[in-house]
Amino acid sequence: MSKRSGFVEIVIALVGLTVPWLWGQPPPPSDLPLGDMQGKARTACLECHDGRIILQQRLSKATWTKEVDKMTKWGAVVDPADRDALIEYLSVNFPAGKAPEPAARVLGQKKR
Amino acid sequence: MISRRDLLKEASFAAAAVGMVHPVLNWAADQDGVSALPGKEGMIVRSFRFLDLEMPTEFMNSWITPVPHFFVRNHMFEPSTLNAAEWRLSVGGEVEKPLTLSLADLQKIEAHSVTNTLECAGNGRAFLNPNVPGVQWQRGAVGNARFSGPRLRDLLERAVVKTTGKHVLFHGLDDVPGKVPPFIRSIPIEKAIDGDTVVATQMNGTPLTKHHGFPARALVPGWIGAASCKWLSEVKVLDKEFEGNFMKPGYRMPNRTIEPGGSINPEETHPITVLNVKSVIASPNDGTTLKHSPVPIHGVAWAGEADVAKVEVSTDSGATWNPAQLGSEDAHYAWRLWSYSWKPAKAGDYVIMARATDSQGRSQPQTAAWNPSGYLYNVIDQVKIRVQA
Protein backbone atom coordinates (compact mmCIF):
# COMPACT_ATOMS: atom_id res chain seq x y z
CA MET A 1 0.00 0.00 0.00
CA SER A 2 1.35 3.37 -0.93
CA LYS A 3 2.23 5.83 1.78
CA ARG A 4 1.17 8.76 -0.42
CA SER A 5 -1.49 11.05 0.94
CA GLY A 6 -3.37 11.06 -2.34
CA PHE A 7 -2.13 14.52 -3.30
CA VAL A 8 -0.28 13.31 -6.38
CA GLU A 9 -3.16 11.07 -7.35
CA ILE A 10 -5.52 14.02 -7.18
CA VAL A 11 -3.26 16.11 -9.43
CA ILE A 12 -2.85 13.26 -11.90
CA ALA A 13 -6.60 12.75 -11.90
CA LEU A 14 -7.09 16.44 -12.63
CA VAL A 15 -4.58 16.22 -15.46
CA GLY A 16 -6.35 13.14 -16.73
CA LEU A 17 -9.64 14.98 -16.72
CA THR A 18 -8.26 18.20 -18.16
CA VAL A 19 -6.38 16.84 -21.17
CA PRO A 20 -9.33 14.97 -22.73
CA TRP A 21 -11.50 18.00 -22.01
CA LEU A 22 -9.09 20.20 -23.92
CA TRP A 23 -8.73 17.77 -26.80
CA GLY A 24 -12.49 17.36 -26.87
CA GLN A 25 -13.08 21.06 -27.50
CA PRO A 26 -14.38 22.30 -30.83
CA PRO A 27 -11.77 22.92 -33.52
CA PRO A 28 -9.61 26.00 -32.92
CA PRO A 29 -11.43 29.07 -34.17
CA SER A 30 -8.67 29.90 -36.60
CA ASP A 31 -9.15 26.65 -38.52
CA LEU A 32 -11.37 26.41 -41.56
CA PRO A 33 -14.71 24.60 -41.28
CA LEU A 34 -15.29 20.97 -42.18
CA GLY A 35 -16.21 20.11 -45.72
CA ASP A 36 -14.95 18.35 -48.81
CA MET A 37 -12.77 21.31 -49.66
CA GLN A 38 -11.39 21.92 -46.17
CA GLY A 39 -8.02 20.36 -46.95
CA LYS A 40 -7.61 22.13 -50.26
CA ALA A 41 -8.76 25.42 -48.77
CA ARG A 42 -6.11 25.00 -46.08
CA THR A 43 -3.49 24.45 -48.77
CA ALA A 44 -4.68 27.41 -50.80
CA CYS A 45 -5.25 29.93 -48.01
CA LEU A 46 -3.31 28.98 -44.90
CA GLU A 47 0.07 28.78 -46.60
CA CYS A 48 0.21 32.55 -46.12
CA HIS A 49 -2.80 33.51 -44.02
CA ASP A 50 -4.01 32.91 -40.51
CA GLY A 51 -7.43 31.26 -40.79
CA ARG A 52 -8.96 34.21 -38.97
CA ILE A 53 -8.71 36.39 -42.05
CA ILE A 54 -10.88 33.89 -43.92
CA LEU A 55 -13.31 33.34 -41.06
CA GLN A 56 -14.10 37.07 -40.74
CA GLN A 57 -15.13 37.53 -44.38
CA ARG A 58 -18.82 37.76 -45.31
CA LEU A 59 -18.95 37.91 -49.07
CA SER A 60 -21.17 37.17 -52.03
CA LYS A 61 -20.19 34.38 -54.41
CA ALA A 62 -19.19 36.97 -57.01
CA THR A 63 -16.80 38.62 -54.55
CA TRP A 64 -15.40 35.28 -53.40
CA THR A 65 -14.73 34.48 -57.04
CA LYS A 66 -12.71 37.67 -57.45
CA GLU A 67 -10.79 36.97 -54.24
CA VAL A 68 -9.94 33.38 -55.17
CA ASP A 69 -8.78 34.43 -58.64
CA LYS A 70 -6.68 37.28 -57.20
CA MET A 71 -5.05 35.03 -54.63
CA THR A 72 -4.37 32.35 -57.24
CA LYS A 73 -2.63 34.97 -59.37
CA TRP A 74 -0.58 35.89 -56.30
CA GLY A 75 0.59 32.34 -55.70
CA ALA A 76 -2.16 30.48 -53.82
CA VAL A 77 -2.00 26.81 -54.78
CA VAL A 78 -5.37 26.08 -56.40
CA ASP A 79 -5.75 23.33 -58.97
CA PRO A 80 -7.90 24.75 -61.79
CA ALA A 81 -10.12 21.70 -61.40
CA ASP A 82 -10.81 22.72 -57.79
CA ARG A 83 -11.46 26.43 -58.38
CA ASP A 84 -15.25 26.29 -58.58
CA ALA A 85 -15.56 23.92 -55.62
CA LEU A 86 -13.28 26.13 -53.53
CA ILE A 87 -15.37 29.20 -54.37
CA GLU A 88 -18.51 27.26 -53.46
CA TYR A 89 -16.98 26.13 -50.15
CA LEU A 90 -16.05 29.69 -49.20
CA SER A 91 -19.36 31.12 -50.38
CA VAL A 92 -21.38 28.60 -48.39
CA ASN A 93 -19.35 28.91 -45.19
CA PHE A 94 -18.76 32.66 -45.26
CA PRO A 95 -21.72 34.19 -47.07
CA ALA A 96 -22.88 37.79 -46.99
CA GLY A 97 -25.22 38.34 -44.08
CA LYS A 98 -23.84 35.66 -41.78
CA ALA A 99 -23.24 36.85 -38.20
CA PRO A 100 -19.72 38.25 -37.67
CA GLU A 101 -16.97 36.03 -36.28
CA PRO A 102 -15.95 37.04 -32.74
CA ALA A 103 -12.35 38.23 -32.63
CA ALA A 104 -9.88 36.95 -30.05
CA ARG A 105 -7.63 39.20 -28.02
CA VAL A 106 -3.99 39.16 -27.03
CA LEU A 107 -4.22 39.27 -23.29
CA GLY A 108 -0.71 40.20 -22.38
CA GLN A 109 2.92 39.41 -22.61
CA LYS A 110 3.94 35.77 -22.38
CA LYS A 111 6.34 35.03 -19.54
CA ARG A 112 9.55 33.50 -20.81
CA MET B 1 -0.35 12.45 8.82
CA ILE B 2 1.82 13.52 5.92
CA SER B 3 5.29 14.83 6.79
CA ARG B 4 6.75 18.05 5.41
CA ARG B 5 9.36 16.01 3.47
CA ASP B 6 6.67 13.79 1.96
CA LEU B 7 4.61 16.81 1.08
CA LEU B 8 7.58 18.40 -0.71
CA LYS B 9 8.30 15.13 -2.51
CA GLU B 10 4.71 14.79 -3.58
CA ALA B 11 4.57 18.42 -4.57
CA SER B 12 7.47 17.78 -6.93
CA PHE B 13 5.52 14.89 -8.50
CA ALA B 14 2.54 17.19 -8.77
CA ALA B 15 4.67 19.91 -10.36
CA ALA B 16 5.89 17.40 -12.92
CA ALA B 17 2.33 16.44 -13.68
CA VAL B 18 1.32 20.06 -14.02
CA GLY B 19 4.37 20.55 -16.21
CA MET B 20 3.01 17.89 -18.50
CA VAL B 21 -0.32 19.62 -18.89
CA HIS B 22 1.09 23.11 -19.18
CA PRO B 23 2.13 22.78 -22.86
CA VAL B 24 -1.34 21.50 -23.62
CA LEU B 25 -2.87 24.51 -21.92
CA ASN B 26 -0.49 26.75 -23.83
CA TRP B 27 -1.41 25.03 -27.05
CA ALA B 28 -5.05 25.74 -26.39
CA ALA B 29 -4.34 29.34 -25.58
CA ASP B 30 -2.21 29.78 -28.68
CA GLN B 31 -4.81 28.21 -30.92
CA ASP B 32 -7.42 30.54 -29.50
CA GLY B 33 -5.16 33.47 -30.13
CA VAL B 34 -5.56 34.69 -26.60
CA SER B 35 -2.05 34.05 -25.37
CA ALA B 36 0.57 36.69 -25.93
CA LEU B 37 2.53 38.75 -28.35
CA PRO B 38 5.60 40.53 -27.01
CA GLY B 39 5.14 44.29 -27.06
CA LYS B 40 1.38 44.18 -27.50
CA GLU B 41 -1.31 44.10 -24.85
CA GLY B 42 -5.07 43.68 -24.90
CA MET B 43 -5.43 43.98 -28.65
CA ILE B 44 -8.19 42.59 -30.84
CA VAL B 45 -6.60 39.99 -33.10
CA ARG B 46 -7.91 40.39 -36.61
CA SER B 47 -5.09 38.20 -37.92
CA PHE B 48 -1.85 36.78 -36.57
CA ARG B 49 -0.49 36.12 -40.05
CA PHE B 50 -0.21 38.63 -41.49
CA LEU B 51 -0.30 40.57 -38.24
CA ASP B 52 -3.31 42.83 -37.95
CA LEU B 53 -4.16 44.06 -34.47
CA GLU B 54 -6.95 46.45 -33.58
CA MET B 55 -7.08 48.69 -30.53
CA PRO B 56 -10.21 48.22 -28.40
CA THR B 57 -12.06 51.51 -27.86
CA GLU B 58 -11.43 51.23 -24.11
CA PHE B 59 -7.86 52.37 -24.82
CA MET B 60 -8.99 55.54 -26.59
CA ASN B 61 -8.75 57.38 -23.32
CA SER B 62 -5.34 59.01 -23.70
CA TRP B 63 -4.15 61.63 -26.15
CA ILE B 64 -0.98 59.67 -26.86
CA THR B 65 -1.60 56.01 -27.58
CA PRO B 66 0.95 53.81 -25.83
CA VAL B 67 2.86 51.63 -28.29
CA PRO B 68 1.53 48.34 -26.78
CA HIS B 69 -2.00 49.50 -27.68
CA PHE B 70 -1.24 51.02 -31.08
CA PHE B 71 -2.88 49.17 -33.97
CA VAL B 72 -0.77 47.08 -36.34
CA ARG B 73 -1.51 46.67 -40.03
CA ASN B 74 0.80 44.41 -41.99
CA HIS B 75 0.16 43.50 -45.61
CA MET B 76 2.80 40.78 -45.56
CA PHE B 77 5.30 39.11 -43.27
CA GLU B 78 7.45 41.38 -41.15
CA PRO B 79 11.10 41.35 -42.28
CA SER B 80 12.67 38.16 -41.00
CA THR B 81 16.05 39.74 -40.44
CA LEU B 82 16.66 43.34 -39.54
CA ASN B 83 20.04 44.40 -38.33
CA ALA B 84 20.24 48.05 -37.36
CA ALA B 85 23.97 48.13 -38.04
CA GLU B 86 23.58 46.77 -41.56
CA TRP B 87 20.33 48.53 -42.49
CA ARG B 88 20.63 51.21 -45.17
CA LEU B 89 18.22 53.69 -46.70
CA SER B 90 18.81 54.61 -50.33
CA VAL B 91 17.62 57.90 -51.77
CA GLY B 92 17.70 57.88 -55.55
CA GLY B 93 15.76 58.19 -58.77
CA GLU B 94 15.31 61.69 -60.18
CA VAL B 95 18.09 63.20 -58.05
CA GLU B 96 21.51 64.64 -58.75
CA LYS B 97 23.33 62.97 -55.84
CA PRO B 98 21.96 59.57 -54.81
CA LEU B 99 22.46 58.79 -51.13
CA THR B 100 22.90 55.70 -49.02
CA LEU B 101 22.27 56.38 -45.35
CA SER B 102 22.85 54.27 -42.27
CA LEU B 103 20.77 54.58 -39.13
CA ALA B 104 23.67 56.50 -37.58
CA ASP B 105 23.62 58.88 -40.56
CA LEU B 106 19.91 59.51 -40.04
CA GLN B 107 20.44 60.16 -36.36
CA LYS B 108 22.96 62.90 -37.18
CA ILE B 109 20.34 64.85 -39.12
CA GLU B 110 18.15 67.23 -37.14
CA ALA B 111 15.07 65.37 -35.92
CA HIS B 112 11.56 66.72 -36.17
CA SER B 113 8.61 65.44 -34.16
CA VAL B 114 5.02 65.20 -35.34
CA THR B 115 2.11 64.08 -33.19
CA ASN B 116 -0.04 62.33 -35.73
CA THR B 117 -3.19 60.29 -35.81
CA LEU B 118 -2.47 57.30 -37.99
CA GLU B 119 -5.49 55.47 -39.31
CA CYS B 120 -5.76 52.52 -41.66
CA ALA B 121 -7.77 53.44 -44.76
CA GLY B 122 -9.94 50.39 -44.07
CA ASN B 123 -10.86 51.28 -40.49
CA GLY B 124 -14.61 50.73 -40.11
CA ARG B 125 -14.79 48.42 -43.12
CA ALA B 126 -16.73 45.88 -41.04
CA PHE B 127 -19.70 48.24 -40.82
CA LEU B 128 -20.30 48.40 -44.56
CA ASN B 129 -23.38 46.72 -45.99
CA PRO B 130 -22.90 44.66 -48.04
CA ASN B 131 -19.57 43.57 -46.56
CA VAL B 132 -16.43 43.97 -48.60
CA PRO B 133 -13.28 41.83 -48.55
CA GLY B 134 -10.33 42.71 -46.36
CA VAL B 135 -9.44 42.93 -42.68
CA GLN B 136 -12.72 43.52 -40.89
CA TRP B 137 -11.65 46.49 -38.83
CA GLN B 138 -14.30 48.08 -36.65
CA ARG B 139 -13.28 51.24 -34.79
CA GLY B 140 -9.73 50.72 -33.63
CA ALA B 141 -7.38 50.67 -36.62
CA VAL B 142 -6.29 54.10 -35.46
CA GLY B 143 -3.96 55.59 -32.88
CA ASN B 144 -2.22 58.83 -32.02
CA ALA B 145 1.54 58.91 -31.44
CA ARG B 146 4.51 61.21 -31.53
CA PHE B 147 6.79 60.24 -34.41
CA SER B 148 10.32 61.64 -34.64
CA GLY B 149 13.09 61.56 -37.20
CA PRO B 150 14.68 63.64 -39.91
CA ARG B 151 12.43 65.51 -42.29
CA LEU B 152 12.18 63.77 -45.65
CA ARG B 153 12.71 67.22 -47.14
CA ASP B 154 16.19 67.37 -45.62
CA LEU B 155 17.13 64.05 -47.20
CA LEU B 156 15.76 65.10 -50.58
CA GLU B 157 17.62 68.42 -50.39
CA ARG B 158 20.89 66.56 -49.84
CA ALA B 159 20.13 64.35 -52.83
CA VAL B 160 19.13 67.40 -54.91
CA VAL B 161 15.86 66.56 -56.63
CA LYS B 162 15.80 67.18 -60.37
CA THR B 163 13.05 69.32 -61.87
CA THR B 164 11.63 66.12 -63.32
CA GLY B 165 10.87 64.81 -59.81
CA LYS B 166 7.09 64.70 -59.29
CA HIS B 167 6.45 61.81 -56.91
CA VAL B 168 8.38 60.07 -54.16
CA LEU B 169 8.23 56.29 -53.83
CA PHE B 170 8.60 54.36 -50.59
CA HIS B 171 9.68 50.72 -50.58
CA GLY B 172 9.55 48.66 -47.41
CA LEU B 173 11.36 45.49 -46.45
CA ASP B 174 8.22 43.39 -45.96
CA ASP B 175 8.90 39.70 -46.65
CA VAL B 176 6.80 39.13 -49.75
CA PRO B 177 5.03 35.75 -50.00
CA GLY B 178 4.45 33.94 -53.29
CA LYS B 179 3.85 36.20 -56.25
CA VAL B 180 2.32 39.01 -54.20
CA PRO B 181 3.42 42.40 -55.50
CA PRO B 182 5.86 44.18 -53.16
CA PHE B 183 4.51 46.90 -50.92
CA ILE B 184 5.53 50.04 -52.78
CA ARG B 185 3.59 53.29 -52.84
CA SER B 186 4.31 56.90 -53.77
CA ILE B 187 3.25 60.37 -52.63
CA PRO B 188 3.36 63.65 -54.56
CA ILE B 189 6.57 65.67 -54.23
CA GLU B 190 4.64 68.52 -52.57
CA LYS B 191 3.69 66.27 -49.65
CA ALA B 192 7.16 64.72 -49.56
CA ILE B 193 8.81 68.11 -49.00
CA ASP B 194 6.22 69.27 -46.48
CA GLY B 195 8.08 70.12 -43.29
CA ASP B 196 6.04 67.62 -41.26
CA THR B 197 6.71 64.57 -43.43
CA VAL B 198 9.48 62.64 -41.71
CA VAL B 199 11.50 59.47 -41.85
CA ALA B 200 10.57 58.36 -38.36
CA THR B 201 12.97 56.36 -36.25
CA GLN B 202 11.17 56.93 -32.97
CA MET B 203 7.63 56.55 -31.71
CA ASN B 204 6.59 58.14 -28.42
CA GLY B 205 10.21 58.87 -27.59
CA THR B 206 11.60 55.38 -28.06
CA PRO B 207 13.00 53.56 -31.10
CA LEU B 208 10.35 52.10 -33.36
CA THR B 209 9.44 48.54 -32.52
CA LYS B 210 9.51 45.94 -35.25
CA HIS B 211 5.71 45.88 -35.53
CA HIS B 212 5.79 49.60 -36.27
CA GLY B 213 8.58 49.69 -38.82
CA PHE B 214 11.96 49.45 -37.09
CA PRO B 215 14.43 50.89 -37.83
CA ALA B 216 12.71 53.60 -39.90
CA ARG B 217 9.38 54.31 -41.51
CA ALA B 218 7.88 57.06 -43.56
CA LEU B 219 5.43 59.21 -41.65
CA VAL B 220 3.08 61.13 -43.90
CA PRO B 221 0.90 63.11 -41.48
CA GLY B 222 -2.82 63.40 -42.00
CA TRP B 223 -2.79 60.73 -44.71
CA ILE B 224 -3.97 57.13 -44.70
CA GLY B 225 -1.70 54.73 -42.85
CA ALA B 226 -0.63 52.99 -46.07
CA ALA B 227 1.24 56.15 -47.10
CA SER B 228 3.54 55.75 -44.09
CA CYS B 229 5.57 52.79 -45.34
CA LYS B 230 7.20 50.66 -42.61
CA TRP B 231 10.68 49.10 -42.62
CA LEU B 232 11.68 51.73 -45.14
CA SER B 233 14.60 50.77 -47.35
CA GLU B 234 14.25 52.94 -50.42
CA VAL B 235 13.14 56.46 -51.21
CA LYS B 236 13.01 57.01 -54.95
CA VAL B 237 12.02 60.20 -56.74
CA LEU B 238 9.87 59.51 -59.81
CA ASP B 239 8.75 61.60 -62.73
CA LYS B 240 5.17 60.37 -62.25
CA GLU B 241 2.95 58.59 -59.77
CA PHE B 242 3.91 54.98 -59.08
CA GLU B 243 1.44 52.51 -60.56
CA GLY B 244 2.11 49.28 -58.67
CA ASN B 245 -0.62 47.16 -57.13
CA PHE B 246 -0.87 49.13 -53.88
CA MET B 247 -1.42 52.35 -55.83
CA LYS B 248 -3.62 50.91 -58.57
CA PRO B 249 -5.99 49.11 -58.19
CA GLY B 250 -5.21 49.22 -54.45
CA TYR B 251 -6.06 52.15 -52.18
CA ARG B 252 -8.34 54.01 -54.56
CA MET B 253 -11.77 55.58 -54.21
CA PRO B 254 -14.44 55.83 -56.89
CA ASN B 255 -14.72 59.18 -58.66
CA ARG B 256 -18.49 58.89 -58.47
CA THR B 257 -21.12 57.50 -56.17
CA ILE B 258 -21.77 53.81 -56.71
CA GLU B 259 -24.61 51.70 -55.43
CA PRO B 260 -23.75 49.44 -52.47
CA GLY B 261 -22.55 46.15 -53.88
CA GLY B 262 -21.68 47.66 -57.23
CA SER B 263 -18.35 47.69 -59.01
CA ILE B 264 -16.27 50.30 -60.78
CA ASN B 265 -13.58 50.42 -63.41
CA PRO B 266 -10.16 51.31 -61.92
CA GLU B 267 -9.92 54.09 -64.50
CA GLU B 268 -12.82 55.77 -62.70
CA THR B 269 -11.01 55.89 -59.37
CA HIS B 270 -8.36 58.03 -57.70
CA PRO B 271 -5.71 57.30 -55.06
CA ILE B 272 -6.69 57.86 -51.44
CA THR B 273 -4.54 60.41 -49.70
CA VAL B 274 -5.95 62.43 -46.79
CA LEU B 275 -7.98 61.04 -43.91
CA ASN B 276 -11.46 62.46 -43.44
CA VAL B 277 -13.16 63.84 -40.36
CA LYS B 278 -14.23 61.15 -37.91
CA SER B 279 -15.08 60.56 -34.27
CA VAL B 280 -15.31 57.39 -32.23
CA ILE B 281 -17.20 56.83 -28.99
CA ALA B 282 -14.78 55.21 -26.57
CA SER B 283 -17.26 54.91 -23.71
CA PRO B 284 -19.86 53.71 -22.96
CA ASN B 285 -19.47 50.52 -24.92
CA ASP B 286 -22.11 49.36 -27.34
CA GLY B 287 -24.62 47.11 -25.61
CA THR B 288 -23.81 48.28 -22.09
CA THR B 289 -26.39 48.34 -19.33
CA LEU B 290 -25.85 51.21 -16.89
CA LYS B 291 -27.34 52.34 -13.61
CA HIS B 292 -29.58 55.39 -13.66
CA SER B 293 -26.96 58.00 -12.83
CA PRO B 294 -24.85 60.53 -14.80
CA VAL B 295 -23.20 58.82 -17.76
CA PRO B 296 -19.78 60.10 -18.85
CA ILE B 297 -19.53 59.87 -22.63
CA HIS B 298 -16.11 60.30 -24.18
CA GLY B 299 -14.08 59.53 -27.24
CA VAL B 300 -11.64 60.81 -29.84
CA ALA B 301 -11.98 62.79 -33.07
CA TRP B 302 -9.57 63.53 -35.90
CA ALA B 303 -9.65 65.27 -39.25
CA GLY B 304 -6.63 64.36 -41.40
CA GLU B 305 -4.89 67.54 -42.55
CA ALA B 306 -7.66 69.73 -41.14
CA ASP B 307 -8.41 70.48 -37.50
CA VAL B 308 -11.31 69.23 -35.43
CA ALA B 309 -13.62 72.24 -35.01
CA LYS B 310 -16.27 70.60 -32.86
CA VAL B 311 -17.74 67.34 -31.68
CA GLU B 312 -21.45 67.02 -30.93
CA VAL B 313 -23.20 64.28 -29.02
CA SER B 314 -26.76 63.09 -29.36
CA THR B 315 -28.44 60.91 -26.73
CA ASP B 316 -31.78 60.65 -28.55
CA SER B 317 -30.90 58.80 -31.75
CA GLY B 318 -29.83 61.98 -33.54
CA ALA B 319 -32.93 64.11 -32.90
CA THR B 320 -30.97 66.74 -30.96
CA TRP B 321 -27.25 67.45 -30.64
CA ASN B 322 -25.19 68.98 -27.84
CA PRO B 323 -21.60 70.26 -27.94
CA ALA B 324 -18.96 68.02 -26.39
CA GLN B 325 -16.02 69.43 -24.47
CA LEU B 326 -12.77 69.13 -26.42
CA GLY B 327 -9.63 68.09 -24.56
CA SER B 328 -6.89 70.64 -24.04
CA GLU B 329 -4.20 68.59 -25.79
CA ASP B 330 -4.00 69.61 -29.40
CA ALA B 331 -1.64 69.37 -32.37
CA HIS B 332 -2.28 69.88 -36.04
CA TYR B 333 -2.42 66.26 -37.15
CA ALA B 334 -3.44 64.77 -33.82
CA TRP B 335 -6.79 63.62 -32.60
CA ARG B 336 -8.70 65.47 -29.90
CA LEU B 337 -10.13 63.82 -26.86
CA TRP B 338 -13.71 64.85 -26.20
CA SER B 339 -16.23 64.30 -23.43
CA TYR B 340 -19.85 64.93 -22.60
CA SER B 341 -21.60 64.42 -19.30
CA TRP B 342 -25.13 63.16 -19.71
CA LYS B 343 -27.87 62.76 -17.14
CA PRO B 344 -30.52 60.39 -18.48
CA ALA B 345 -33.99 61.71 -17.63
CA LYS B 346 -35.37 58.22 -17.15
CA ALA B 347 -34.58 54.56 -17.53
CA GLY B 348 -34.80 53.06 -20.98
CA ASP B 349 -32.94 52.18 -24.16
CA TYR B 350 -30.87 54.91 -25.79
CA VAL B 351 -28.82 55.43 -28.92
CA ILE B 352 -25.83 57.68 -28.31
CA MET B 353 -24.17 59.30 -31.30
CA ALA B 354 -21.05 61.41 -31.84
CA ARG B 355 -20.47 63.69 -34.82
CA ALA B 356 -17.30 65.64 -35.56
CA THR B 357 -16.93 68.66 -37.82
CA ASP B 358 -13.58 69.83 -39.17
CA SER B 359 -12.12 73.30 -39.64
CA GLN B 360 -13.34 73.36 -43.23
CA GLY B 361 -16.93 72.74 -42.20
CA ARG B 362 -17.04 69.09 -43.26
CA SER B 363 -19.04 66.83 -40.99
CA GLN B 364 -19.55 63.11 -40.70
CA PRO B 365 -22.27 61.59 -42.88
CA GLN B 366 -25.25 59.55 -41.73
CA THR B 367 -24.67 56.89 -44.35
CA ALA B 368 -21.48 55.43 -45.76
CA ALA B 369 -20.02 56.23 -49.14
CA TRP B 370 -19.93 52.52 -49.98
CA ASN B 371 -16.95 51.49 -52.08
CA PRO B 372 -15.72 48.02 -53.09
CA SER B 373 -12.70 48.02 -50.76
CA GLY B 374 -14.32 49.70 -47.77
CA TYR B 375 -12.06 52.73 -47.47
CA LEU B 376 -12.52 55.94 -45.48
CA TYR B 377 -15.59 54.87 -43.51
CA ASN B 378 -16.58 57.82 -41.36
CA VAL B 379 -20.29 57.47 -40.65
CA ILE B 380 -21.50 59.11 -37.41
CA ASP B 381 -20.55 56.66 -34.66
CA GLN B 382 -23.25 55.29 -32.42
CA VAL B 383 -23.68 52.96 -29.45
CA LYS B 384 -26.83 51.47 -28.00
CA ILE B 385 -27.11 51.33 -24.24
CA ARG B 386 -29.71 50.51 -21.60
CA VAL B 387 -30.24 52.65 -18.51
CA GLN B 388 -31.77 50.69 -15.64
CA ALA B 389 -34.37 52.12 -13.30
Domain count, chain A: 1
Determine, yes or no, domain membership for A54. yes
Question: Does B9 lie at the interface with A, CB-CB under 8 angstroms?
Answer: no
Closest residue on chain A to B175 (Cα): A48
Determine, yes or no, domain membership for A3. no
Quick one: pLDDT at residue B36?
81
Quick one: pLDDT at residue B81?
85
Question: Does B52 lie at the interface with A, CB-CB under 8 angstroms?
Answer: yes
From chain B residues 255-284, the ones with a CB under 8 A of any chain A CB are 261
Determine, yes or no, domain membership for A78. yes
- B179 CB neighbours in chain A (<8 A) are 73-75
CATH number at residue A33: 1.10.760.10
Question: Does B49 lie at the interface with A, CB-CB under 8 angstroms?
Answer: yes
Instruction: Report how far residue A57's alpha carbon sits from residue B245's, in angstroms, rounded to the nearest whole number.
Output: 22
Determine, yes or no, domain membership for A5. no
Quick one: pLDDT at residue A65?
98
Quick one: pLDDT at residue B35?
64
Is the pLDDT score of A5 beyond 90?
Answer: no
Determine, yes or no, domain membership for A37. yes
Closest residue on chain A to B27 (Cα): A22
- Dihedral angle, C-alpha B193, B194, B200, B205, nearest 10 °: 150
Quick one: pLDDT at residue B24?
34
Determine, yes or no, domain membership for A107. no
* Interface contacts A/B by beta carbons within 8 Å: 141
Domain that holds residue A78: 29-93
Determine, yes or no, domain membership for A12. no
A7-38 pLDDT per residue, tens: 555 545 554 444 444 444 444 457 899 999 99
Q: Mean pLDDT throughout A3-9?
A: 52
Please give, rounded to a whole number of angstroms, the shortest distance from the CA of A36 to a CA of chain B. Answer: 23
Low-confidence ranges of chain B (pLDDT < 70): 1-35
- A76 CB neighbours in chain B (<8 A) are 178
Determine, yes or no, domain membership for A67. yes
